[in-house]
Structure 1
Amino acid sequence: MRRIFARLGESPFGPAVLGLVYFAVATLALLATRSAHGIAAIWPPSGILLATLLSVPRRAVWRFAVAAIVASLAANMVAGSGLRVSAGFSAANGLEAMVATLVLRRRSGRRVSFIDPSGLSAFFGASFVAAFVSAGVAACIAPQSGGGFILSWFSTVWLGLLLVTPLLLAIFEISASTRQAVSGRQTLDLIGIVLLTILATGSTFCQTQYPMLFVPMMVIVIAVLRGGMLGGIISMIVVVIFGSLALWWGTGPIFLIRTSHESRLLFFQFYLLSLFVSALPMATLLAARDRLRVNLSERIRLLDQAEAAAHIGHWRINAVDQAVLWSPEVFRMHGLPEDASPALDDATGHYHPDDRERVSKAVAAALADGQPFAFEARIVRPDGTVRHVEIQGERDYSSQDDAIGLFGLIRDITEQIEARQVLRDARDAADRSAQAAMLLASTDALTGLANRRRIVEYLDAMLADVDAGEVAMSIVLFDIDHFKTVNDRYGHDVGDEVLRRVAATATEGLRNTDLIGRYGGEEFVIILPRTNADTALQIAERVRARIEASWQDGQPKVTVSLGIATTHGEDAGHGILKRADVALYAAKSAGRNRLRLAS
């Protein structure tokens, strides 16, 4: 409907259509209920014009206003008023809608809303000002004007604006939005409201025996509760129609008042105003409540979506009865249906057995002293799967009864825990790889002993301890006697096996604190920390004897010659190695398979 008015505003025929409607309604209103001043009980054309001016584009307002003024002029002249009076009344009628439109659009733009108290108050005030201005202009034109005329005109115009404009704007709004289209049930409610109002209003105004004017008010309250703003306005329009017809026919409870026709008309107008003041604010509050309910529902829906996307839920524990409240995401974390929140003991029972006591203690302590808490725990779902969660909570005061409780968040961190474990495993694997690389870099590939690099590093470290005041250190340098002959006679494969056997046998004769390594070729070094010359000679002899006795059938028998050196003075690594090497050559010169101590 609003789109229709928008198209009419652009069309050259739009003002003509409004003019015809305005003329027809104005003529009926003038004929329906008249007083000595020719003023109707309610002036619906004012509401029609205001609703139109609020709906059409701003640039088309003046064309529709002019069309309505011309139609009003024609209607007044048809009703028997002179040209001067008709022109003045028509100007007043056009002015009232223009004033109300100007006030409302300056406040809220093009759209006027009745679903919040401020919008209704603005419309109430704008229509009051417009009716007051219109009554003042009409009083200057009327042949016989006075306080009664001004009051009658004011109430007639104001009622027309108050009753008709909201009804038309509500219809426009419903027609313009498919989301707000009236459903089948709402249609049945509106039909029921109309029938009930007709029955109640007819029973009230078709008799003059009982003052039953309270009955329509009761029906209007029911109409507001069932049909909202639209239902209330429709019900009031029915009351206006029946009441006006009753005044015309000379029947109804109003005629129980022994007074003039003008006073009865004024009473009826203020009766309608009281209905408006009673019903529409209530309808507005109900509409505002429904809007808040919809907004709250939408916010809850968005909150649920946000929690589901972030895998975060919220919970609350009532300290009085220890009732537990879970958000939908908490149910999903636990793998439970969203039927009812569990008791506190049952909620704790969903945690891993190893975590339950810790969870219970944290909750109990928070309830007792109000200290916030945060920890990680595991949830065991009914299907046996385990979810890791992070829980935090703090003291909370209920907004309803000031009861102390706990409020907190629970976040599913299973993916983070799994990622953390993957990183930990990767780090451990990297550490193992690094250690393996370091071991490989410091190990002789053939014998598995320390290589030359490792020997030199270890020797320098031991010599540093000796410089710091430790006891003497000794080294043993030995090689295999006639090893070249073994390679030439048996081949390099056998030679490699001999090297491995000598390395293993020599290692068996050492202490846990000693280090043996392959220095190069068939030459080996033994580092003996905190060992003097006498002990070094004993260890060297034990190694020599084991190697000599280690040969088996089918294997070449080998022996070793050994040179021993012990630190003295400020030995460096190359210095002690050189002295051991001199001792080794002395052992070889003495016939091999023997040992010598460096001087």
Structure 2
Amino acid sequence: MRQTFARLGDSPLGPAVLGIAYFASALLSLVMTRGAHGIAAIWPPSGILLATLLVVPRHAVWRFAMAAIIASFAANLLAGSGFCVSIGFTAANGLEAMVATLLLRRRSGARVSFINPSGLSAFFVASLIASLVSALVATCISPRLNGEFLLSWFSTVWLGMLLVTPLLLAAFELSLSTRRRVSGRDAINLSGIVLLTVIAASFTFYQTQYPMLFVPMMVIVIAVLRGGMLGGIISMMVVVVLGSLALFWGSGPIFLIRASSDTRLLFFQFYLLSLFVSSLPMATLLAARDRLRVNLSERIRLLDQAEAAAHIGHWRVNSIDQTIFWSPEVFRMHGLPEGKPPALEQAIDLYHQDDRQGVSEVIALALAEGQPFAFEARIVRPDGSVRYVATQGERDYSSTDDAIGLFGLIRDVTEQIEAQQVLKESRDAANRSAAAAMLLASTDVLTGLANRRRIIEYLDDALTDNETGKAALSVILFDIDHFKAVNDRYGHDIGDDVIKRVASSANGCLRNTDLIGRYGGEEFVIILPKTDREVALQIAERVRASIEASWDDGQPKVTVSLGIASTRDGDTCDVILKRADIALYEAKHAGRNRLRLAS
């Protein structure tokens, strides 16, 4: 749009077209005037020039202004004004457009908008100031310096800018815009507005029997409602043209006024001003409403897209009638078509039966106390699929009726929950695998007891605890008597069975806090935490007796020799095992199947 106006300002035909339009409209207005001093009922050239100066680039303003000045001077001369008066009137007309342009561009930049009340107010004030300045200058130039001339000039110029400028700006934008083409329906609508206004204006102004000046106002209101800003301006321009022609021909209810021609002209001008003040602000408010509606619709569309992308919806519960509102994404989460949301109780029934009670209690508590809330639950869709949702919200006050309700956000977290479940299962499996690996690394395969590595680790830890001042620790080291002979006579398979039988028998004699392990071959170690030598001797004897008594038919009967050692200051793992080993060999040298206590 701005580039189009720039091309228009740089075109050499632009000032010429403006000059011709300005000259023709000025001459026609002067010829049609009915008042004294050559004052027209409305001065369209002011509106034409102001609209042009508002749309062309700043660097081209002077070219269009010069074209309008030349056209104004020529029109005033042809209308019968003297040379000096024509120069003064031309200066006044040029000054009014320049002042209004300066005020409007300083406030609004390169473009004046009539679709918001502030823009219309700025235009109203700027045109008022510009018209007043022009009227003061023209009154000083006029041969008859009086208030009536000042008021006539002021109202004529002001009406010209108020009525013509908005129409031309709307026409400029409509003709140059690529996105707002007039559809066939719009054209028919505008044509109907023109026809209705022509009928109403003709009925009003072309008879002098009844004062029907209120009829055009009714039609203009209809035009605004049907055609917006453009329809209202077009309808007003039709009223202006037909009313001015009727005034020129001496027809209309205005001639029911028993006054001078100047007074009738002023009455007609202020009648047109009242039409403007009554209709154009309404059109502006309607345009602002439509723009807000479009913006709101666009924001809602973008919000719906954002919610769909993020799998987040919003809802509201009215605490008075228990009605609820769902955004489109909430319907999608529940697997329901968009439409009227279910009642509150029915919405709660859509949750998994194990979650309904909790959800109902949270909602009831939030409605009663107004505290923020958050919960996770499962939704069961009509097809039976289950979705996990996370909901959070707080108390909300309606902007329309001040009703207290709840506003909340609901987020589909099914993928996160499923990912967490997969991660948990993977972590549990990894932990089980690690535990199994650790158990395998610390377990003797044949007997299922602790292996040598585990024995050493456990004994080191126990000795560390003993250094911190805890009770004594004892170690029993034993092996199977004449085990080589068993292997040689019965074979290694029977030998393995004997080792397992001995391990089982010894393990059955121990406490839960004790640890037994296979130290290597047929040799075993028992670690007795918090156990002194007397108790250790009792446990060792119980182990020896149990192994001696445990044998089955077909299996060789075996015995064990045991060495017991209890901790002393400065003992290490190797030291205490060495002393237990010495005691074990003492038991063997003493005849086997017996135990000895290390010195």
* The two structures share one fold, judged by TM-score above 0.5: yes
Q: Deviation of residue 308 (structure 1)?
A: 2.3
The amino acid of 1:222's aligned partner reads: I
Indicate if the aligned counterparts of 1:2 and 1:176 stay in contact, CA closer than 8 A.
no
Indicate if the aligned counterparts of 2:502 and 2:547 stay in contact, CA closer than 8 A.
no
Indicate if the aligned counterparts of 1:73 and 1:87 stay in contact, CA closer than 8 A.
yes
Indicate if the aligned counterparts of 1:85 and 1:142 stay in contact, CA closer than 8 A.
yes
Q: What does the per-residue CA deviation read over 1:389-442, in whole Å, with 9 as the maximum and x for residues that have no partner?
A: 222222222222222222222222222222322332233233223322322332
The amino acid of 1:184's aligned partner reads: G
The amino acid of 2:294's aligned partner reads: V
Aligned to 2:537: 533
Q: Secondary structure at the match of 2:526?
A: strand
Partner Cα separation in structure 1 for residue 57 and residue 465 of structure 2: 99
Work out which of the residue numbers 539, 546, 562 in structure 2 matches 1:542.
546
Give the unaligned 5+ runs of structure 1. Answer: none
Indicate if the aligned counterparts of 2:443 and 2:454 stay in contact, CA closer than 8 A.
yes
Aligned to 1:127: 127
Partner Cα separation in structure 1 for residue 115 and residue 467 of structure 2: 94
Partner Cα separation in structure 2 for residue 56 and residue 468 of structure 1: 96
Aligned to 2:582: 582
Q: Deviation of residue 488 (structure 1)?
A: 6.9
Q: Which moved more, 1:81-90 or 1:271-280?
A: 81-90
The amino acid of 2:98's aligned partner reads: M
Q: Does 1:215 align with 2:215?
A: yes
The amino acid of 2:562's aligned partner reads: G
Aligned to 2:38: 38
Aligned to 2:149: 149
Distance 1:257-1:542 versus aligned 2 partners, 3 A rule:
same
Q: What does the per-residue CA deviation read over 1:503-532, in whole Å, with 9 as the maximum and x for residues that have no partner?
A: 456546656554321112332223355544
Aligned to 1:176: 176
Q: Which moved more, 1:156-165 or 1:7-16?
A: 7-16
Alignment of 1:381-392 (within 5 A): 381-392=381-392
Alignment of 1:304-315 (within 5 A): 304-315=304-315
Q: Deviation of residue 328 (structure 1)?
A: 1.8
Partner Cα separation in structure 1 for residue 558 and residue 3 of structure 2: 113
Aligned to 1:227: 227
Distance 1:488-1:537 versus aligned 2 partners, 3 A rule:
closer
Q: Does 1:18 align with 2:18?
A: yes
Q: What does the per-residue CA deviation read over 1:219-249, in whole Å, with 9 as the maximum and x for residues that have no partner?
A: 0011111111111100000000100110111
Indicate if the aligned counterparts of 1:509 and 1:539 stay in contact, CA closer than 8 A.
yes
Partner Cα separation in structure 2 for residue 575 and residue 262 of structure 1: 132
Indicate if the aligned counterparts of 1:481 and 1:558 stay in contact, CA closer than 8 A.
no
Give the unaligned 5+ runs of structure 2. Answer: none
Indicate if the aligned counterparts of 1:3 and 1:176 stay in contact, CA closer than 8 A.
no
Partner Cα separation in structure 2 for residue 178 and residue 568 of structure 1: 99
Aligned to 2:80: 80
Q: CA RMSD in A?
A: 2.7
Aligned to 2:236: 236
Q: Taking structure 2 as the reference length, what is the TM-score of the superposition? A: 0.91
Q: Secondary structure at the match of 2:38?
A: coil
Q: Secondary structure at the match of 2:320?
A: coil
Q: Which moved more, 1:298-307 or 1:494-503?
A: 494-503
Partner Cα separation in structure 1 for residue 470 and residue 262 of structure 2: 128
Q: Taking structure 1 as the reference length, what is the TM-score of the superposition? A: 0.91
Indicate if the aligned counterparts of 1:351 and 1:378 stay in contact, CA closer than 8 A.
yes
Q: Deviation of residue 456 (structure 1)?
A: 2.8
Aligned length: 593
Q: Does 1:412 align with 2:402?
A: no
Q: Does 1:293 align with 2:293?
A: yes
Q: Secondary structure at the match of 1:382?
A: coil
The amino acid of 1:559's aligned partner reads: V
Q: Which moved more, 1:442-451 or 1:265-274?
A: 442-451
Partner Cα separation in structure 2 for residue 256 and residue 398 of structure 1: 56
Partner Cα separation in structure 1 for residue 119 and residue 156 of structure 2: 22
Q: Deviation of residue 53 (structure 1)?
A: 0.6
Q: Secondary structure at the match of 1:353?
A: coil
Aligned to 2:205: 205
Partner Cα separation in structure 2 for residue 495 and residue 121 of structure 1: 111
Partner Cα separation in structure 2 for residue 53 and residue 568 of structure 1: 109
Q: What does the per-residue CA deviation read over 1:250-278, in whole Å, with 9 as the maximum and x for residues that have no partner?
A: 11111111222221111111110010010
Q: Does 1:57 align with 2:53?
A: no
Distance 1:78-1:2 versus aligned 2 partners, 3 A rule:
farther
Q: Deviation of residue 339 (structure 1)?
A: 0.3
Indicate if the aligned counterparts of 1:5 and 1:52 stay in contact, CA closer than 8 A.
no
The amino acid of 2:86's aligned partner reads: S
Aligned to 2:139: 139
